[in-house]
A and B are shown apart, each in its own frame.
Chain A
Amino acid sequence: MIFRRELRSHARGLIVWSLVLGGLGLLILSVYPSFAGNAQTVEDMLNLFPGPIAGVFGMDVLKLGTYAGFYGVEVHLINTLAGSVYAALLAAGMLAGEENDRTAEFLLTRPVTRTSVALQKLAAVLANLFALNAVIAAVGFACTGFADEAVEFDLLAWYMLAAFLLHGTVASVSFLLSAAMRRTRSVVSLALGIVFLSYALHVVAELSERFGFLRRVSLFSFADAAAIAERGGLAAPDAAVMALVSVLSVAGAIGYYRIKDIAG
């Protein structure tokens, strides 16, 4: 019941975000052949970037002349950042939105447990994130047609999995805030704040070795394309941290929501 209603009421947003992110990916990846054609020129040009700046975008490790490298630098960044904003916005409204709009009183007086309400809403969030990431992945794989060389499909798949995990983690944290707070606007501000702060920490960590330790606390460092390329996959500890943060956030959200006093 609630799951279906949430899917329907968020369908429009999902379509818009899918079109924007899918379209943007398509647009950027369609430029790849001209990059690949002039690989040497491009490399020379990029060498003009100061090292640290290139590091922020992972260009010190990733090769723009390969499809996976190009995807990692150009498309993966947009997917992780914009996708996280989508995840934060989507999850922020889920529980707090009902209290904010005073519809919680209707919903929670139906014969349904609060755990079920929270789980159904969470399932709707995950279904939406899955759909958005499926579109992203479809575009990423379809555009390999632009590449002449043998594409590193496994690396591409790791990027996509990392992006999905990142989105899921951001959504879980935002969902916890949504359970704990009453005003949608405050939840949205705080959740977006966490996303941008986390991204800022990642940038700082890449800019200066002195702040390299910040990689350990930024979700964006966990899903960083350069790090994935270096290791040839998502590091198990990073994936574990994201999974743990997600599980704890969701458990906290449900635990708190079960006993929360609903504002009248």
Chain B
Amino acid sequence: MAIVELDRLTKRYGKRRGIEDVSFSVEEGEIFGFIGPNGAGKSTTIRILLNLIRPTAGSARVFGKDVVRHSRDIRREIGYLPAEVRYYDDMRAAELLRYSAGFYGKPDEARLRRLAERLDLDLARRISDLSLGNRKKVGIIQALLHRPRLLILDEPTGGLDPLMQHAFFDLLREERERGATIFFSSHILGEVQRLCGRVAIIRDGRLVRVESVSKLVGSGLKTVTLTFAADARPQPVRDDELPGVVRQDVSGHVLTLLYAGGVRDLLEYVRRLPLADIRIGEPALEDIFMQEYQTDEGA
């Protein structure tokens, strides 16, 4: 069953761009990524799902219910972590979390303490004294505490150090095992890649495509950074030497390739080069978009 369903969802803010004609759906039990550059319309979409703003046209359903008409019922089973976490400064972390939990029934104190321990958060601190990262932790606990059926996370890792990100991702996997569906926005592909099964890509308010992560990354696009030895000069790669180079850049001793060909060919080719170092990494989100555009134009 589709947990989230967008049907030609549109939001216009006067002249400012919102989103236009966005349709996709998220199935039960999925970890679904929602990626796009900043300002692409990710938060706008999420805020419509939570009924913080109303759609201009089109509709959205969560748990099969309309987001405008049945908003309260829907929100009872949603855990939401906003991109920018802001709470009442006069409260302590524990007070805020109990206040929040009170809206869903009786607070589960044991779970509250366990989550705080996992994320290493001091519950006695005042919200106003918390660092950005610690506020984010309060936000995470607030979203998970009532065991929601759907987790909506807007840029969840911003402000978390790598160690905490790890703990957070572990928590998310446990939530998924519990049966929760996770809808997760980010502008960093690597983050989404670690966790999600499928992603929707949005840009300039329009849906670019919905794709499984393995296919998106498995399309083989890689960033290859070749650092040449001090006495050698990098030469541009010719297509007959190594097919599959989408784009290349020379800067001093460094040659950077955006490469879509096979790994064997690549290794065979670089074996002959006077290299000091080599790095093969995932492509930047922008590079994937770039390729999307070229494919679109070619079609």
Residues of A within 8 A of B (CB): 1, 5, 9, 101-106, 108-113, 259, 261-262, 264
Q: Could you say which of B54, B72, B78, B88 contacts A103, with CB atoms under 8 Å apart?
A: B88
Q: Determine the chain A residues whose CB is within 8 A of the CB of B80 once the complex forms.
A: 109
* Distance (whole angstroms) from the CB of B185 to the closest CB of chain A: 13
Question: Which residues of B from 79 to 94 have beta carbons under 8 Å from A?
Answer: 80, 82, 84, 86-90
Interface on chain A toward B: helix, strand, loop, or mixed SS? Answer: loop
Q: Are A105 and B75 in contact (CB under 8 A)?
A: no
Known: A103-B86, A109-B82, A264-B43. 4 other contacts (CB 8 A): A102-B86, A103-B88, A109-B50, A264-B53
Residues of A within 8 A of B71 (CB): 113
Complex CA gap A69/B52 in Å reads 53
In the complex, what distance in Å separates the CA atom of A9 from the CA atom of B88?
10
B178 at the interface (CB under 8 A from A): no
CA distance A113 to B73 in the complex (A): 10
List the one stretch of B95-103, B193-201, B256-264 in contact with chain A: B95-103
Question: How far apart sit A151 and B23, CA to CA, in the bound complex (Å)?
Answer: 74
A-B contact number at CB 8 A: 58
Say whether, besides A1-B99, A102-B84, A102-B86, A110 and B54 are in contact (CB < 8 Å): no
Interface: B65 (CB within 8 A): no
Chain A: minimal CB distance from B143 (Å): 9
Residues of B within 8 A of A (CB): 43-44, 47, 50-54, 71-73, 75-76, 78, 80, 82, 84, 86-90, 99-100, 102-104, 142
Please indicate the chain B residues that have their CB under 8 angstroms from the CB of A113 in the complex. 71-72
What are 22 A-B contacts with C-beta separation under 8 Å? Answer: A5-B99, A9-B90, A101-B86, A101-B88, A101-B89, A102-B86, A103-B87, A105-B86, A108-B51, A108-B52, A110-B75, A110-B104, A111-B72, A111-B73, A111-B103, A113-B71, A259-B54, A261-B52, A262-B52, A264-B44, A264-B47, A264-B53
CB distance from B131 to the nearest CB of A (A): 17
Q: Which residues of A contact B72 (CB under 8 A)?
A: 111-113
**In chain B, what residue has the closest Cβ to A8?**
B90
Contact check, B52 vs A111: say whether CB atoms are below 8 A apart: no
Among A105, A112, A113, A262, the most chain B Cβ lie within 10 Å of the Cβ of A105
Chain A residue contacts of B84, Cβ below 8 A: 102
Q: Chain A nearest CB: distance from B149 CB in Å?
A: 12
Contact between chains at B90 and A111 (CB < 8 Å): no
Contact of A106 among B43, B76, B100 (CB under 8 A): B100
Q: Which residues of B contact A109 (CB under 8 A)?
A: 50, 52, 75, 78, 80, 82
Which chain A residue lies CB-closest to B82? A105
Give Cα distance in the complex from A19 to B66, angstroms.
50
